[in-house]
Chains A and B, each alone.
Chain A
């Protein structure tokens, strides 16, 4: 096996070689493309927006706590995430809330890792399609292929 052939077989990301990864990215379209091209931190924020909304609509809390939740959501609006995107998100359902509670029980650094490759976000989006609608309202870079 030549050196070049060996380099081609090196795992580049998530079990894929560089060539495989590029092919995978090129093959993405629709929701998958949106999720993969959105930084995982923003995905986490969008998911938490649905969780916060659920809490705001179901949990009795003090005015201070309510303001903290709403301020937290207001701070999510940055970079590609627009105010319209946050506004369109529906509150999380019971199942999604349980999933996010489980994630919350992890150490802080692992919480954001759970959103890498949009694995968790994909599952949450199936339960709450408004998350995809929110993604569609975020201007993407690179541009989404038509």
Chain B
């Protein structure tokens, strides 16, 4: 019986009529079948070998199939396709998750009943948090005048034989660092 399990016969995955994503469409038929078979593999360990066999890659030994699977898994195009199909699976798992949630909500005695309510409430009536972002742009005449005043100060100070750089900082103007340019 153990031997039968180990050497069970598998049928090659037939191509489907479903519209493929761009990553899957970029693959050959065999590679597409390999990707799909990865998600049908009965167990995580040896899934690559199983998928390679299911995709129709023929070989005399498991080690060769494992090697083929390793090469396919390392192909960036195959990896993109795996990510694409994974996303599709997650999307299709949505209804299943909702059904499970409904089932929990139907049993007030369920230990995760409270959590289920929380999950639903977070999505139905999410907590509102208000962020008030104040953006102030001061374009008042006073500010524009300040630039003029600074320029005038420099002119007058030069005329009076004073170096503005040697004067103490102004109490109402924040000096800006000069750019390297």
Contacts and interface: CB of A to CB of B under 8 A. Distances in A.
Does B associate with A?
yes
Interface of A: 49, 53, 56-64, 66-67, 70-71, 73-74, 83, 86-89
Contacts of B157: 56, 70
Contacts of A86: 159-161
Interface in B154-181: 156-157, 159-162, 166-173
B100 interface: no
A83 B156 contact: no
Contacts of B167: 56-57, 66
Contacts of B168: 57-61
B153 A66 contact: yes
7 contacts: A57-B162, A59-B168, A61-B170, A61-B171, A67-B149, A74-B159, A87-B159
A139 B3 CA distance: 122
B152 interface: yes
A58 to B, nearest CB: 7
Contacts of A83: 159
Contacts of B150: 63
B166 A73 contact: no
B71 interface: no
Nearest to A83: B159
B146 interface: yes
A64 B172 CA distance: 9
Contacts of B173: 63
A67 B156 CA distance: 8
B152 A67 contact: yes
A6 B33 CA distance: 138
Given A56-B162, A88-B161, A62 B156 contact: no
A58 B168 CA distance: 6
Contacts of B166: 57
A74 B154 CA distance: 13
Interface string B100-123: 000000000000000000000000
Given A60-B171, A63-B149, A70-B156, 7 more contacts: A63-B146, A63-B150, A66-B153, A70-B157, A73-B160, A83-B159, A86-B160
A56 B169 CA distance: 10
B172 to A, nearest CB: 4
B157 to A, nearest CB: 6
A62 B160 contact: no
A53 B162 contact: yes
B141 to A, nearest CB: 14
A63 B159 contact: no
